[in-house]
Structure 1
């Protein structure tokens, strides 16, 4: 190497375009809480952090049993057939319980591919359906799907969710976003960050749009059946007669196993239009995507033996947390909470015009952290939705109450309207 030569190394275009704003904010050195006030973070959707939500004992027993017989060999790329069949039977049972489409063909192991978490399952779906230059429609607001899409050269087009209609899809706007390069629509239900749970009627309207434009749907249903009392969840594929659907789910949320890295894709294809896509998914599964071998072997027992009471108790507890947060936040000057129907989150609108010294939702959340040591994620850039912030509902209830009281204190300090008049007016 001569004296005049210098190293010139650059990251790839894939790396340059790959960005996770949640992680960037979470790990930022600018996250400086008030040193005099104990930090309460309502940011990361990991329900196990404070040990008030944990996996079921039956899950731990299933893993112990699998571990005793696991020699940690590679499994087959789409996952063990016995485990894939267990997922198929789990899904069949859920579909049958709704008795919507009487002629639903039962799913088999051939319709299931295991993946290293629901995130990886989603990436596989994006990659199998779209090429560079194509686009996929995402909801706005939404979790960070673009982290997995944009780096692949695939474009993103956003359709609106309506916060004043319990985060329903704006169907007219959805349809206006479709163009000749659109390859799929992603539907997240129950939703993150909104806590939306769509009615059967609304889901049928979404399917009409997809069928009219002959577009498949990627259904992110990792929060499936995680709904609050009186709210019914409908798997999108259980309602679809003609639209082919790739449903992604896993053990992360409903089974309270965020680090299990056990997810799956269910290929719902009543009219055999996914034949080539199905082959493509199995091709992609060969790229070392298979999940942890012990979890794969434990999966049949986890799905079979986890009692319904475990799910009911968790959703009821999160519902109570949501009520506690909502009832405090709705009394705060300058913000409007939107009560969720399920999942683990609550979105809050900031009436920024009432906060003269705060310019953006990001500014709001930074000042809240700096002054009162409450960590929440801003709607932008985290969820591509300015003017809002999101709180996580799985921290202990007393911490949620304390955090919301601090948010109220923060609003009373910074909101320009008279807080007493605001409270009296409701």
Structure 2
């Protein structure tokens, strides 16, 4: 439990950068109140597609939450969306809370702005749920925002409705807004359900970040968005306006994709989504089945996204001092490359990506098994002994 005095009410102020980023084009356009000629088709050649924002609003609305196009800010990918949210909400001397293990870009973006990063722990033994006591203990009077990543990279976890409600209760108690990284929204496996934080929040302001890249399998198209969910009007106008102006520092997101966005979001058939989930689920079960049999490794079955975290019992691989050494040697000997847990501030793990073709995934798992059996203390001793007495292994 946090014992440091914290806020006693909602006081969320825009950062200096957000307040002082000014785009004259945006200011002029937003203050034009003249109605176009109703007898002629409107042709917009100014700053982008309102229809794209409307499409995102429609796509993100459901029976639990309704999104207004004015609350949508288009960005150059989801990482850009996260950058803008952190930049707008926090300033040097403040801190943001990020998950551990978690996507490293959060730290990169914050520390580059002079913002302190504090980590709260996830619990692998409970499917990577947040350690709520640890989350609460990290909050102090300088905490500007909490980043919640659900579904998770690198864990592939999907939080339950009750768990998300508990998270919101903590944020409300300490008056801290949330940046919701929900780029893997809807990418959940059978038996699990995705709940957006905004659909469950009555008072906590949520800046929800998402985009095209993951669900629609279009990496590199650089189309993301922020949705401002602020039912109680807690965020000051400086934050809302600051997010808009910050998004214009690079003039705007990809206008070609903006033009295609309504058709992509509205016309993509459900079968496409279903096929993607079916493939990822099959691959996750396949990888889990193989890796579970590998001596010295302990995979944690994901509930969504496209990743799997695997624990390395380094006491079984005494020649390696770290997960990084393990990964480097496996790359050199087997040409299989996984990211070490150090990339996510979580040593003794590796992260597998399960999006590769099925045959390639099986081959990778077999190579991982060969590598581990060759370097595992007990199995390697057995193999050496069989070799010594002339029995082919």
Q: TM-score range by the shorter chain?
A: 0.7 to 0.9
Structure 2 residue 137 is the aligned partner of structure 1 residue 176: yes
Given candidates 82, 92, 96, the residue that maps to 1:136 is: 96
Distance in 2 between the 1:195 and 1:155 partners?
26
Contact kept? 1:218, 1:246, Cα under 8 Å: yes
Q: 1:121 is paired with a residue of what secondary structure?
A: helix
Task: Kindly indicate whether residue 315 of structure 2 is the aligned counterpart of residue 346 of structure 1.
Answer: no
Unaligned runs of 5+ in 2: 1-42, 383-393
Say whether 1:151 aligns with 2:109.
no
Scaled by the length of structure 2, what TM-score is found?
0.83
TM-aligned CA distance change 1:289 to 1:368, over 3 Å: farther
Matched, 1:267 2:236: no
Quote how far apart the aligned CAs of 1:420 are. 11
Deviations 1:355-406 (A, max 9, x none): 11011000100010111111110000x1111010001000001111111111
CA shift, 1:167, in A, is 0.4
Matched, 1:87 2:56: yes
In the other structure, the counterpart of 2:364 is 403
- 2:34 — aligned with what? none
Paired residue for 2:272, among 304, 310, 315?
310
The 5 Å alignment of 1:53-68 reads: none
1:224 counterpart = 2:185: yes
**TM-score scaled to structure 1, two decimals?**
0.77
Instruction: Report the CA distance between 1:75 and its aligned residue.
Output: 5.3
Deviation of the 1:74 alpha carbon = 7.5
Instruction: Report the Cα offset of residue 80 of structure 1.
Output: 2.4
Q: Secondary structure at the match of 1:230?
A: coil
Q: 1:220 to 1:289 in 2, by over 3 A?
A: farther
- Between 1:281-290 and 1:207-216, the stretch displaced more is 281-290
Q: After superposition, where does 1:15-164 map in structure 2 within 5 Å?
A: 76=47, 79-92=48-61, 95-96=62-63, 101=64, 104=65, 106-144=66-104, 145-164=106-125
- Flag the 1:289–1:245 CA change in 2: closer, same or farther, 3 A: farther
Higher relative contact order (CA 8 A, sep 6+): 1
Distance 1:388 1:411 in 2: 14
CA distance in 2, matches of 1:369, 1:294: 39
Contact 2:308/2:351, CA 8 A, preserved across alignment: yes
RMSD of aligned residue pairs (Cα, Å) = 1.7
8 Å contact from structure 2 (residues 374, 380) kept in 1: no
Residue of 163, 188, 194 corresponding to 1:202: 163
What is the CA deviation profile of residues 36-91 of structure 1, one whole-angstrom value per residue up to 9, with x for unaligned ones?
A: xxxxxxxxxxxxxxxxxxxxxxxxxxxxxxxxxxx9x9852xx5222111111111
CA contact (8 A) 2:97 2:119 kept: yes
| 8 Å CA contact 1:333, 1:419 repeated in 2 | no
Task: Work out whether residues 74 and 293 of structure 1, in 8 Å CA contact, stay in contact via their aligned partners in 2.
Answer: no
Partners of 1:125 and 1:246 within 8 A in 2 = yes
**3-state DSSP of counterpart to 2:352:** strand
Task: Name the CA shift for 1:129/1:419 in 2 (closer, same or farther; >3 Å).
Answer: same
Question: Equivalents in 2 of 1:215, 1:203: separation in Å?
Answer: 15
State how far apart, in whole Å, the 1-side matches of 2:261 and 2:368 are.
Answer: 41
Matched, 1:290 2:252: yes
Give me the whole-angstrom Cα distance separating, in 2, the residues matched to 1:263 and 1:356.
Answer: 44
Q: Please, which runs of 5 or more residues in structure 1 have no aligned partner?
A: 1-70, 422-426
3-state secondary structure, aligned to 1:142? coil
